[in-house]
Amino acid sequence: MRHLERVARLNLLIAVFTCMALTASGQKGNNSTEVVQGLVKQHEAWLYRLSTPGASIRGIQTAKQGSVFHYHIYVSGLPNDRVYDVLSWPIGQQKPSTVFPGVSLGKDGIVMCSGRLPGECNDPSSEDHGVVNFAFSADSGEPIRLGLVSDNQRATGVIVPDPIGGTDRGCSLSVERLSPHFEIAYVTGEGYPPATEVSFSATSYHEAHPIKVATDDKGTLHFAMLPYVVGHDQGTTQLQTSGLTGCSPRAEFRWGD
């Protein structure tokens, strides 16, 4: 029951930042403005606001077998003398769930299943002395949202095993799918001039749509877009920086069934 209480507590925190949950179907008919805004707020809360101050998660890929990506997960900023539950929040799923209860943090914050702490899981078959090998099956641009929770200590973060993006002259652009068929795309950029309006051109089926978004004082930006084109169930979108920013990174992604 204890790990269920922890999940409930985290769900309550997520609700503070959520306008409206995305339905599990992720169909185009649900792409109202409210749903898009709610989904983006959920994702950004998981990225930036739900972690204990100073806590973070990162993943190091150890192997790849077809479409399955293997990772070791590292956590910083949390105490290593307690047991945590690992949460996962797939896109299209309305809330996170516990996928691995009773882990600990080893050297450099690596997630372990060593049985060294009371209540910790134990994996004697591990080739790395209890280090947990995480395996993810992910589409291109799909974010893997993970969290570690123990009472009032928590860290949440995102890993993108198969990223979509581009770089140019110090600027970078990345695109994540926030729904299963890329009905909603989440775009982030770094390295742009600070406090500047940046123009983008998004093209699908020869339809070009201008997008303008302002960077913050660090030169980063983010926005959501709906790439679907009326009359088409699938397609490709090209996204490129335009205007006088000194750089023009480009990203391309496929959407649809």
CATH number at residue 236: 2.60.40.2240
b or e along 110-119 (b: 16 or more beta carbons within 10 Å of the residue's beta carbon)?
Answer: bbbbbeebee
**Statement to judge: residues 141 and 200 lie in one domain:** no
Residue 137 structural domain: 2-159
Domain boundary among 142, 159, 176: 159
**How confident is the model over 105-125, as pLDDT tens digits?**
999 999 999 999 999 999 877
**How confident is the model over 36-76, as pLDDT tens digits?**
899 999 999 999 999 999 999 999 999 999 989 999 999 99
**Statement to judge: residues 149 and 171 lie in one domain:** no
Phi, psi of 16, deg, nearest 5: -60, -35
**What is the total count of domains within the chain?**
2
Task: Record the pTM.
Answer: 0.85
**Statement to judge: residues 65 and 129 lie in one domain:** yes
End-to-end CA distance of the chain, in Å?
A: 39
Complete edge-to-edge strand list for the sheet that includes strand 234-242: 207-214, 197-204, 234-242, 250-256
**Statement to judge: residues 94 and 17 lie in one domain:** yes
Domain boundary among 159, 189, 213: 159
**Statement to judge: residues 125 and 110 lie in one domain:** yes
**Statement to judge: residues 6 and 110 lie in one domain:** yes
Instruction: Look at residue 44 and give its three-state secondary structure.
Output: helix
**Statement to judge: residues 27 and 71 lie in one domain:** yes
C-alpha triplet 226, 227, 232: angle, nearest 5°: 120
**Statement to judge: residues 82 and 145 lie in one domain:** yes
Show pLDDT as tens, one digit a residue, over the chain (257 residues).
Answer: 344 444 444 444 444 333 333 333 333 444 478 888 999 999 999 999 999 999 999 999 999 999 899 999 999 999 999 999 999 999 989 899 999 999 999 999 999 999 999 999 998 777 677 999 999 999 999 999 999 999 999 999 999 999 999 999 999 999 999 999 999 999 999 999 999 999 999 999 988 999 999 999 999 999 999 999 999 999 999 999 987 678 999 999 999 97
**Statement to judge: residues 234 and 147 lie in one domain:** no
Instruction: Look at residue 8 and give its three-state secondary structure.
Output: helix
Q: Report residue 230 as tokens.
A: 């009326």
How far apart CA 222 and CA 89 sit, in angstroms, is 21
**Statement to judge: residues 190 and 144 lie in one domain:** no
Domain boundary among 119, 134, 159: 159
